[in-house]
Structure 1
């Protein structure tokens, strides 16, 4: 049996208010639905916990970011996870909270997909770009397939000449 892992680490350059909101959201126990109030800073974005959960988490059965560390920096916040962090929820949270930063440019991060066994399909990764309008994803597997298709097309054109 092989164990697969998704790992990521990034520092997001955000303003102090966004950094504080990210810290509160990442430290909040989203799984505890016993009526716990949203942290004060998050109440400005969401009417209630249910609205926040729906906006952030793609899977209502997995209400965790699965991060191993969150570190406040002078000019932002560092995040990292070594055992399958919830990348989609992290991207959603960035888009919801970091509106001011995103108004002057996108934020992004990369991840690696690894395995404890040498398997041909087990090593990959990708990137995510978060903007005000969209969240874009691409894996290294997709990029490789596109590059190979382009190379095959170039060979086909060369052979037709």
Structure 2
């Protein structure tokens, strides 16, 4: 048997209002996870995490977790008291990238409107094997969240580079070269293909 870990961290600056909203959501999640009665939600919280069912003002927050029964970020949070604030979130055993990314996106609309926020995480094991290591990345935008695995990037990097001079199925590079030699075109190969397709209405 082996113990498996997900370790990650993210640090960013945001407005004091956004930091306060993150802190409120974090505390509500902790209270719910510990089966304690959460404090009254603020209007800003209800706007960021609109309830999905009547009668429970916190189910909009619970909805960002993979399992709403366990609203855990599995990380520690630190917030500086300034404006802008610096928020640091890190975990070394079961870091939850999805929930943390959703928390940041819901709470930091103004900041994300100016620039995206990104972070990475890694997989580990008490008995390392190649299949137990790796990691991933997350890019948070105001309108979307993108995830990727480091293994995917490595696989792509190891693939042979595509030959930019490989022939089009219909418009051969040799035909283009002939037209260039005869001064019949001054277009590059790809632009020449596009022009020929346009002139005959051909499909790419």
- Cα distance in 1 for partners of 2:9, 2:38 equals 29
What is the distance in 1 between the residues matched to 2:119 and 2:151? 17
Structure 2 residue 26 is matched with structure 1 residue 26: yes
Find the partner of 2:73 among 57, 65, 81. 65
Runs of 4+ in 1 over 6 A off after TM superposition: none
| Superposition TM-score, scaled by structure 2 size | 0.67
Count of residues in correspondence between the two structures: 152
How much has 1:79 moved relative to structure 2?
0.7
Equivalent positions of 1:98-109 (< 5 A) are: 98-109=108-119
Structure with larger Rg = 2
The answer (yes or no) to whether the contact 1:7–1:82 under 8 Å persists in 2 is yes
Find the counterpart in structure 1 of residue 156 from structure 2.
146
Report if aligned partners of 1:111, 1:125 keep a CA contact under 8 Å in 2.
yes
Distance in 2 (alpha carbons) for counterparts of 1:130 and 1:122: 26
Alpha-carbon contact 1:6-1:113 (below 8 Å) kept: yes
1:80 is the counterpart of 2:90 = yes
Could you list the runs of 5+ residues in structure 1 that have no partner in the other structure? none
Q: 1:129 aligns with which of 100, 118, 139?
A: 139
CA–CA distance in 1 between the matches of 2:40 and 2:90? Answer: 23
Higher strand share: 1
- Identify the residue that residue 2 of structure 2 maps to in structure 1: 2
Q: Distance in 1 between matches of 2:38 and 2:27?
A: 13
Q: CA deviation at 1:10?
A: 2.0
TM-score (norm 1): 0.83
Which of 50, 60, 63 matches 2:59?
A: 50
How far is the alpha carbon of 1:7 from its aligned partner?
Answer: 0.4
Partner of 1:39: 41
For the Cα contact (< 8 Å) 1:30–1:64, is it kept in 2? no
Q: Secondary structure at the match of 1:60?
A: coil
Across the aligned residues of Structure 1 and Structure 2, the Cα RMSD in angstroms comes to 2.1
Structure showing greater relative contact order (alpha-carbon pairs closer than 8 Å, 6 or more residues apart): 1
